[in-house]
């Protein structure tokens, strides 16, 4: 007989793992699907400082998410590695079509998260992996003793820029405004860092180089002036890291009847219900005011509890 799960959770970030923990603890037949590594964006975060109950001295994203995964599996949540290509979300039994196989379930918790938004400059794709990166934790060591530039002005940009100062000899934050959007305590730490510099009212417009990124054109948004930044001749290249926001991983849900906003985020009520019965959304993929590990974990827990309450219908 073909297995029909009580709930399938798409994504193994903090929201998905929290949902799996609660679903497993409630003795539901739950499956967590993940196409890549556990953790989503937290997996590429060097330092977590504000998750309640974490190690006081701080810890890395991979360390925290590894414990979350063990907890979820400890309570009986099943795991599978697959990439969902399309979905059928209407009706009592939903079908998720993966690369490896199809999955049937009465309930779906969408915890697919979000990914880094491109910087939006000319030749960006040409130099991705050849000087351009979106993950300081992944690639900082490649730029040891080099100059590095970071595009963005929010918490992620500033925190990752500070992390990069451990490797690069100089880090410059490029921001389109004349002040940062990061939290004040984050800004205070950044301004005290002697290796961290700032380029205000500026955007990157084009990248250049022979194989590796070695120059870029930047524009002052107030004056319109274009300036070309060249790599140090002794280096022959520099690094450019983009932290300008995120894009939700919701492409596969287009045309399924699932409501999404103009940016692709999924609206829910306070109990994580979407507009489709038996379909819930949790974490960064959801329309919300704060995208943090703690709110993602809470979303996942709420969604799983709501699924448990609905199980009396089957």
> Is 238 found in the same domain as 254?
no
> Is 109 found in the same domain as 50?
yes
135, 183, 217, 235: the catalytic one is 135
> Is 145 found in the same domain as 232?
yes
> What backbone torsions phi and psi does residue 33 show, to the nearest 5 degrees?
-105, 130
> Is 235 found in the same domain as 254?
no
> Is 48 found in the same domain as 19?
yes
Share of the chain above pLDDT 70, in %: 98
* Per-residue pLDDT, 91: 92
Q: CB–CB of 280/274 below 8 Å?
A: yes
Closest CA to 135 of 218, 40, 215: 40
What does 30-97 look like in DSSP terms, one character per residue?
A: EEEEESS-TTGGGGG-S-B--STTS-TT-B-HHHHHHHHHHHHHHTT-EEEE--EEEEE-SSSSEEEE
Name the DSSP letter for residue 282: -
> Is 189 found in the same domain as 146?
yes
- The dihedral sign for the CA sequence 26, 27, 31, 36: positive
The domain in which residue 31 lies consists of 4-115+246-313
Q: CB–CB of 203/178 below 8 Å?
A: no
Please give the model's pTM, rounded to 2 decimal places.
0.80
How many domains, the chain?
Answer: 2
* Per-residue pLDDT, 53: 84
User: What pLDDT band is residue 311 in, cutting at 50, 70 and 90?
Assistant: confident
Query: 87 to each of 18, 103, 211, how far by Cα in Å?
Result: 22, 10, 40
> Is 91 found in the same domain as 78?
yes
Closest CA to 12 of 282, 309, 294, 289: 282
**Per residue in 239-260, pLDDT tens?**
999 999 889 999 999 999 999 9
> Is 94 found in the same domain as 36?
yes
**Per residue in 97-125, pLDDT tens?**
999 999 999 999 999 999 889 999 999 99
Helix axes 14-25, 61-74, angle to 10 degrees: 20
* Per-residue pLDDT, 313: 60
**Per residue in 58-75, pLDDT tens?**
778 888 889 999 999 999
Residue 22 to residue 25: CA distance in whole angstroms: 5
Share of the chain above pLDDT 90, in %: 82
> Is 153 found in the same domain as 71?
no
> Is 109 found in the same domain as 11?
yes
CATH code, 171? 3.50.50.60
Active site residue 138: yes
CA angle 158, 163, 165 (to 5 degrees): 100
Q: Among residues 199, 215, 242, which one ends one of the domains?
A: 242
Active site residue 135: yes
Q: Which residue intervals of the chain are DSSP H helices?
A: 14-25, 61-74, 124-127, 136-139, 155-164, 184-191, 293-310
92, 138, 232, 271: the catalytic one is 138
Mean predicted lDDT score pLDDT of the chain = 93
Which residue has better confidence, 56 or 264? 264
> Is 169 found in the same domain as 131?
yes
Active site residue 121: no
6, 38, 82, 139: the catalytic one is 139
Name the DSSP letter for residue 288: -
Name the DSSP letter for residue 286: B
Q: Among residues 225, 242, 259, which one ends one of the domains?
A: 242
User: What pLDDT band is residue 5 in, cutting at 50, 70 and 90?
Assistant: very high
> Is 219 found in the same domain as 111?
no
Q: Among residues 242, 257, 278, which one ends one of the domains?
A: 242
Residue entry with tokens 């890291």: 241
Strand partners, 172: 149, 197
């Amino acid at each position: 007989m073909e297995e029909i799960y009580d709930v399938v959770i798409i994504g193994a970030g903090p929201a998905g793992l929290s949902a799996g923990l609660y679903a497993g603890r409630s003795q539901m037949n739950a499956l967590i699907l993940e196409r890549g590594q556990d953790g989503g964006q937290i997996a590429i975060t060097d330092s977590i400082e504000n998750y309640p109950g974490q190690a006081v001295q701080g810890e890395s994203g991979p360390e925290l998410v590894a414990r979350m995964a063990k907890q979820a599996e400890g309570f009986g949540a099943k795991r599978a590695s697959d990439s969902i290509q399309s979905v059928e979300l209407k009706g009592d039994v939903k079908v998720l079509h993966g690369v490896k196989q199809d999955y049937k379930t009465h309930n779906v918790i969408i915890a697919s998260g979000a990914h880094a938004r491109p910087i939006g400059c000319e030749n960006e794709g040409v130099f991705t992996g050849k000087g351009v990166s979106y993950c300081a934790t992944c690639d900082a060591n490649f730029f040891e003793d080099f100059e590095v530039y970071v595009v963005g002005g929010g918490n992620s940009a500033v925190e990752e820029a500070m992390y990069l100062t451990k490797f690069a000899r100089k880090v410059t934050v490029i921001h389109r405004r004349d002040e940062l959007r990061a939290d004040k305590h984050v800004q205070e730490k950044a301004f005290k860092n002697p290796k961290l510099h700032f380029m205000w009212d500026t955007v990157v417009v084009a990248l250049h180089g022979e194989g590796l990124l070695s120059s870029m054109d930047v524009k002052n948004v107030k004056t319109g002036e274009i300036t070309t930044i060249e790599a140090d001749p002794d280096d022959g290249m520099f690094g450019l890291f983009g932290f300008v926001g995120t894009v939700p991983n919701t492409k596969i849900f287009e045309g399924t009847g699932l409501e999404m906003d103009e940016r692709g985020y999924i609206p829910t009520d306070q109990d994580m219900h979407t507009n489709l019965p038996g379909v819930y959304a949790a974490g960064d993929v959801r329309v919300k005011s704060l995208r943090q590990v703690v709110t993602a974990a809470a979303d996942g827990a709420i969604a799983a509890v709501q699924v448990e309450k609905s199980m009396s219908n089957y």
